[in-house]
Amino acid sequence: MSFKDSVMLVLLAAIWGGSFLFMRYAVPEFGVAPLIFLRVGLAALFLLPLLLWQGKLAGLKKVWHLSFINGWANSAIPFCLIAYSLLTLSSGFASILNAVTPIATAIVGLIWLGERMPLLKSIGMLIGIAGVTLLAWNKLYVSQDDTVQVALAIAAGVVATLFYAISAIFTKRYLNGVDSMVLSTGSMLGASLLLLPLALIYWPDQSPSMLSWLAAIALAIVCSALAYLMFFRLIHTVGPARATTVTFIVPVFGMLWGATLLNEEVSMFMLLASAVTLLGTGLATGVISGRGTEKEK
């Protein structure tokens, strides 16, 4: 991975770490579907003029159906699942759950593409799953909230990683080589169309506060439009497995932003479980071994 790609990976992690903060703040006022519709809809409105200005509309027309499907998998569904989980979980906690995305990508790649799983990576996958299990078990044990609600929130956060993994492999399998602007715009448009009916049905009766609107706008422009331009570029330059290692760093920023800006508690057990999860993720992706994942062809 080049220095430029490494810097982009860290910057993307900081941005997506912030997305948990923005969602955690805004989702109680907007509700899940309206907030995520604003996130992808405003992102689409931001990207579409840029696409037209760059003369890439013809490229979108060629792959619109595939990019729309990809938008459901990489944005509409997982964003809603994470927003739902953040009605109960802290942004730092949810970001740790998101760290298993590379493990989910390895599993989906094994099933879908028949990619091999060396012993060390298999061990790492099991360690990562154990870390998330410890985190979830402790949360269920010490939580003063409704146990069923907490369990559903944790499950939603984990299932979201499966959709991210499916999207990464889908992009590699069917959209390899497609321009990142085309992919990002098509994904946001597809996600917007899917969520529009739900947003209209569940639009809040009481107008959200200005800060919640600002959080929604930040989610759309920074955490979606700009972030996905970066993410799809990374998929093409370093491959889906390495690109999804961005979630290896996201929990650091997720806990940092949550603790400093929302005064969320970061317990020692959260840090321990996070360390175990990230250790497993690092082994599963080859980051800790020092060899890195092989660049996908």
Chain segment 162-202, per-residue pLDDT in tens: 998 899 889 888 888 888 889 889 999 999 999 999 999 99
pLDDT at 266 over 60: yes
Asked if residue 51 belongs to a domain, the reply is: yes
* pLDDT for position 218: 94
- Please check whether residue 254 is in contact with residue 95, taking contact to mean a CB–CB distance below 8 angstroms: yes
* pLDDT for position 292: 45
Asked if residue 292 belongs to a domain, the reply is: no
Asked if residue 296 belongs to a domain, the reply is: no
* pLDDT for position 25: 92
Domain containing residue 125: 3-285
Distance from chain centroid for Cα 32: 16
* pLDDT for position 285: 64
* pLDDT for position 109: 79
- Indicate the Cα dihedral angle 83, 87, 93, 96, nearest 10°: -20
Mean pLDDT of 259-279: 79
Task: Count other C-beta atoms under 10 Å from residue 98's C-beta.
Answer: 26
Helices first, then strands: H and E counts in the chain: 14, 0
Asked if residue 295 belongs to a domain, the reply is: no
* pLDDT for position 6: 80
pLDDT at 297 over 70: no
- Structure-model confidence comparison of residues 39 and 135, the more confident one: 39
pLDDT at 76 over 90: yes
Mean pLDDT of 83-97: 89
pLDDT at 241 over 70: no
Asked if residue 77 belongs to a domain, the reply is: yes
- Structure-model confidence comparison of residues 296 and 60, the more confident one: 60
Number of compact structural domains in the chain = 1
pLDDT at 212 over 90: yes
pLDDT at 235 over 80: no
Asked if residue 265 belongs to a domain, the reply is: yes
pLDDT at 293 over 50: no
Coarse DSSP helix, strand, coil percentages of the chain, rounded to the nearest 5 percent: 80, 0, 20
Mean pLDDT of 103-120: 77
pLDDT at 296 over 70: no
DSSP 244: G
- In the chain, what percentage of residues exceed pLDDT 90? 40
Pinpoint the alpha helices (H) of the chain. 3-30, 32-53, 57-71, 77-85, 91-98, 101-112, 119-142, 147-174, 180-201, 210-220, 227-238, 240-243, 250-261, 268-285
pLDDT at 69 over 70: yes
- In the chain, what percentage of residues exceed pLDDT 70? 90
The mean pLDDT value of the chain amounts to 84
